[in-house]
Copies of this chain bind each other. A is one copy, B any other.
Amino acid sequence: MSLVFNLTLITIITLNAIAIILHTVPSINRQHERLFRDFELFSVIFFTVEYVLRLWVCVENENYHHPVWGRIKYIFSATGIIDFLAIFPFYFTLFATDLAVVRILRLFRIFRLFRVTRYSHAFKVIQDVLVDKKEELILSVTFVVFMLIIVSSIVYYVEHPAQPDIFSSIPATMWWGVNAMTTVGYGDMHPITPLGKFLGGMAAILGLSLFALPTGIIASGFAEHIRAHKAPVKHRCPHCGKEF
């Protein structure tokens, strides 16, 4: 029963994601406008019913067992908010015109995609490792952001006189900086002075090296997780039969 419901839910979430994506292609949207509208209506009804039912039964979970406060707590939980945001924009548009903000709110339905991954055993393992290494990973990203600010500030002062329109401010230079340090390199802006090029090269090497940190942290996290969850080896002496 539960399996059938979950499979149905995964199918509808996936179809919703596909509909949201294809809906933006003008030629497809024009051809299947009716289909998109009907599927939207069906989805909203389905998700509304699901939302109401979850709100009804959530008191059985001991985290939300109080009939009033438990349900209010559920409404403001992460799951509750995402579920609400998936249906809210539709009802909002019944009373309002089609605003840009509504379209973006609609995107929250896509976050439901991640629910699909919950049914996998590997999800638990990856989550455990990431939670366990949370502090180191946050610090690594903080390092990256700090180095980005420092690198961009220095390169701004070096390149601004040579290219005042392109390296126009530190925030503008940070767009270059993040693409240099993550090695994206769109080519829309890059240093042209010798010192700027030298610093740009350093930034790329530094960036790639900094991203070695989270990789190393995650690798050791997985190794640790495996060791911690392995059944401890029991030794039994084959000569006298005793365990130790």
Taking CB atoms, residues of chain B closer than 8 Å to A168 are 26
**Residue of B whose beta carbon sits closest to that of A28:** B169
Contacting residue for A117 out of B139, B214, B220, CB 8 A = B139
In the assembly, what is the distance between CA of A178 and CA of B23, in Å?
Answer: 20
In the assembly, what is the distance between CA of A112 and CA of B237, in Å?
Answer: 50
A15 interfacial by beta-carbon distance below 8 Å? no
Chain A interface main SS type: helix
A170 to chain B, nearest CB (A): 4
A67 interfacial by beta-carbon distance below 8 Å? no
Taking CB atoms, residues of chain B closer than 8 Å to A23 are 170
A21 interfacial by beta-carbon distance below 8 Å? yes
A161 to chain B, nearest CB (A): 8
In the complex, how many residues of chain A place their beta carbon closer than 8 angstroms to a beta carbon of chain B?
Answer: 92
A49 interfacial by beta-carbon distance below 8 Å? no
In the assembly, what is the distance between CA of A26 and CA of B172, in Å?
Answer: 11
Taking CB atoms, residues of chain B closer than 8 Å to A120 are 135, 139
Give me 14 other A-B pairs in contact (C-beta within 8 A), A17-B149, A125-B136, A217-B219 excluded: A25-B172, A26-B168, A107-B153, A107-B154, A113-B150, A117-B139, A144-B205, A175-B197, A178-B204, A178-B205, A212-B218, A216-B220, A220-B226, A240-B242
